[in-house]
């Protein structure tokens, strides 16, 4: 076989190998987004005109309700990410540095088990525990802490608990992997040179774990921002989550154009926060994603 023919063949092979990936990228990611982007620039169907405009985005800024919910979603997501980090760090530290081989796998398992059942069932589980006629309020009455069962659902705190619970694993995993790679002798050396617990954490542990922390925070923040079930079910009448707003626009109001615009606003928020997170922590995107 001649040399050029051979080259053509290998090029053909390369093209064939790339096809599934490219198709996936174009058909399932690129096209729907382009479609939604165009949709978000159209006026509401039935209004007559078909001219592209920013009116759907305008509605978002004109109606205080929408951007209130938007800002609230962003703030609560940020708070929940921070709480998740605070809860996950000691767990990850225990798994990576303190637990013995066996305990370590059990601890990992304990973090993983909730994910064996669907998010709906998990959230309903929380509802059974926390509702007025549920397990926890009954227990509080029995222990004499409250006189009558109290409603523990439908509060912001409930939403936060649910969100932290749902995202814990996604914070623990990158944290464990980055803490595991921290040489114990570095911590000992820091102590030996006169460091105290918090100083060692600040000067040695956190800088070393920074890529893992950033990765965990980005993943958790994005998951929380895009979560629909947990805030809706646990927040009940007061949930006010932006994804719910998008769902309502698409499904209840038939206002796909508005829903698409909201979707893009949420996407931009996500991107902006990831960018800001990387800037603040001084991390490289590729490096962080490898950790995640």
Q: Could you say which of 8, 53, 120, 238 contacts another protein (CB under 8 A)?
A: 238
Q: Could you say which of 253, 272, 284, 287 contacts another protein (CB under 8 A)?
A: 253
Q: Could you say which of 190, 201, 267, 289 contacts another protein (CB under 8 A)?
A: 190
**Any residues with CB less than 8 A from the CB of 85 and at least 6 apart, and which?**
171, 213, 216, 217, 220
Give me the 131-150 binding string for another protein, x by CB under 8 A, dash otherwise: xxx-----------------
- The neighbour count for residue 63, using CB atoms within 10 Å, is 11
Query: Which one, 92 or 233, has the nearer CB to another protein?
Result: 233
* Least Å from the CB of residue 47 to another protein: 9
Distance CA 58, CA 60 (A): 5
Span from 5-13, 66-74, 87-95, 114-122 in contact with another protein (CB under 8 A):
66-74
- Examine residue 97 and tell whether it contacts another protein (CB under 8 A): no
* Least Å from the CB of residue 207 to another protein: 4
Q: Which of 215, 89, 66, 236 is nearest to 74 (CA)?
A: 66
Total chain residues near another protein (CB under 8 A): 44
- The neighbour count for residue 156, using CB atoms within 10 Å, is 16
Torsion-angle region of residue 144: left (phi > 0), alpha (psi -120 to 50) or beta?
A: left
Residue 58 burial by Cβ neighbours in a 10 Å radius (0-12, 13-18, 19+): exposed
Q: Could you say which of 151, 267, 278, 292 contacts another protein (CB under 8 A)?
A: 151
* Least Å from the CB of residue 264 to another protein: 19
Q: Could you say which of 33, 37, 44, 267 contacts another protein (CB under 8 A)?
A: 44
- Examine residue 43 and tell whether it contacts another protein (CB under 8 A): no
Distance CA 44, CA 62 (A): 16
Span from 7-15, 73-81, 113-121, 194-202 in contact with another protein (CB under 8 A):
194-202
Q: Could you say which of 7, 9, 63, 180 contacts another protein (CB under 8 A)?
A: 63
- Examine residue 49 and tell whether it contacts another protein (CB under 8 A): no
Inter-helix orientation angle 206-226/64-93, to 10°: 140
- The backbone torsions φ and ψ at residue 239, rounded to the nearest 5 degrees and listed phi first, read -60, -50
How many residues does this entry show for the chain? 292
For residues 213 and 175, the answer to whether their CB atoms sit within 8 Å is yes
* Least Å from the CB of residue 258 to another protein: 9
Q: Which of 105, 92, 247, 251 is nearest to 174 (CA)?
A: 92
Terminal alpha carbon distance of the chain: 46
Q: Could you say which of 51, 237, 279, 286 contacts another protein (CB under 8 A)?
A: 237
Binding site for another protein (CB under 8 A): 44-46, 63, 65-66, 68-69, 131-133, 151, 154, 183, 185-186, 188-196, 199, 203-204, 207-208, 236-240, 245, 248, 250-256
């Amino acid at each position: 076989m001649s040399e050029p023919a051979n080259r053509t063949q290998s090029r053909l092979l390369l093209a064939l190998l790339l096809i599934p990936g490219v198709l996936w990228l174009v058909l399932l990611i690129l096209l729907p987004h382009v479609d939604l982007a165009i949709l978000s620039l159209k006026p509401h169907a039935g209004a007559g005109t078909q001219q592209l405009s920013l009116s759907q985005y305008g509605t978002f800024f004109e109606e205080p309700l929408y951007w209130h919910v938007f800002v609230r979603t962003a703030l609560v997501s940020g708070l929940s990410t921070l709480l998740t980090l605070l809860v996950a760090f000691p767990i990850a530290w225990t798994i990576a540095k303190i637990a013995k081989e066996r305990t370590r796998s059990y601890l990992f398992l304990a973090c993983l088990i909730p994910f064996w059942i669907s998010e709906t069932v998990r959230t309903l589980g929380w509802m059974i525990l926390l509702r007025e006629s549920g397990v926890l309020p009954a227990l509080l009455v029995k222990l004499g802490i409250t006189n009558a069962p109290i409603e523990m659902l439908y509060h912001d705190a409930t939403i936060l608990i649910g969100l932290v619970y749902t995202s814990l694993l996604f914070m623990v995993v990158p944290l464990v992997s980055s803490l595991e790679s921290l040489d114990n002798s570095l911590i000992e050396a820091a102590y030996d040179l006169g460091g105290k617990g918090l100083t060692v954490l600040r000067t040695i542990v956190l800088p070393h774990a920074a890529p893992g922390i950033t990765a965990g925070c980005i993943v958790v923040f994005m998951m929380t921002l895009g979560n629909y079930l947990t805030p809706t079910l646990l927040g009940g009448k007061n949930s006010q989550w932006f994804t719910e707003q998008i769902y309502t626009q698409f499904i209840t109001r038939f206002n796909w154009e508005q829903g698409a615009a909201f979707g893009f606003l949420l996407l931009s928020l996500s991107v902006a926060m990831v960018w800001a997170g990387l800037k603040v922590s001084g991390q490289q995107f590729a490096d962080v994603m490898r950790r995640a």
